[in-house]
Amino acid sequence: AAASGAYAYSSGLCCADSASAEVYTLAVPVALPMSATGSGNASASGLGGAIFSGGALDLTGGGLYEFTGNRAIGGAAASGAYAYSSGHGGAIYASDNVDIQGATFTGNSATTTNTGDLSSGLGGAIYHGSTLSTSTFKLTALDTTNGAIIFEGNTHNHGAGGATPNSIYFANTRTSGDSTTNATFDVASGATFHMLDPLASQADNFTPPGGTPYDNLNLILNKTGSGTWVLAGVSDMQSA
């Protein structure tokens, strides 16, 4: 079992805690079957305040997945080559397929110090920047212990223009062709699925500062299951 404020881990996964502010990098398909709770982590790379996932991310083990007060900080605060197109995913940065079952995201934030840089400070809780031609993104809420999906109090601050509520930002970071993301929000009967922070997605023909234009994102949103998906705020969906 992990200590208070740390991520529980198994199958070779390591932990991130508020004392060291480390962010674990997942480079291959992985699953986190145990509980994962953490707060106050800050990403030095500006990509993923708690988890950076370069492979398929699976959080469906039935454990307690809580992400609270994590931050992705872009711009001058980010290291290496991430000064631009950074500050992505207050809790999670993912560039592959994602499957999450039961999780709470509260008070996470993505921000940047680059005023006017609309490629940075995106995804208050989750940034899904697909590098695949076709990807899947699935959130499942169940009427079970630890089965609820809740987003509340998450913000992003793209271009340092002021923080606004945001749960998930969808993007295509490819420069070799348009991509399609099939996003499914599955709500079982009696389950709690409260997305109190709105969604957002990448605009068509988007070009990061001084960079190569991203190709466009074809974003398909599906709600399945007989339960109720509570979606608050005004979602800013600019994808094709």
What is the pLDDT at residue 128? 96
Contact 189, 153 (CB under 8 A): no
Q: What pLDDT score does 114 carry?
A: 85
- 141 Cβ neighbours under 8 A, 6+ residues apart: 102, 147, 148, 149, 186, 187, 188, 191, 192, 193, 225, 227
List of residues 6+ apart from 193 with CB closer than 8 A:
139, 141, 148, 149, 150, 185, 187, 227, 228, 229, 230
pLDDT at residue 129, rounded to an integer: 92
Q: Is 98 exposed, middle or buried (0-12, 13-18, 19+ CB in 10 A)?
A: buried
pLDDT for residue 83: 63
pLDDT in tens, 159-200: 889 999 999 999 998 878 899 999 999 999 999 999 999 999
* Angle at alpha carbon of residue 150, lines to 25 and 123, rounded to 5°: 45
The pLDDT value recorded for residue 166 is 97
What's the pLDDT score for residue 205?
A: 85
Instruction: Flag residues of the chain having pLDDT under 70.
Output: 1-45, 77-84, 240
- Mean pLDDT of the residues in the chain: 79
Distinct helix (H) and strand (E) counts, the chain:
0, 23
The residue count of the chain comes to: 240
Per-residue confidence (pLDDT) for residue 191, from 0 to 100: 96
Write phi, then psi, for 89 (nearest 5 degrees): 80, 90
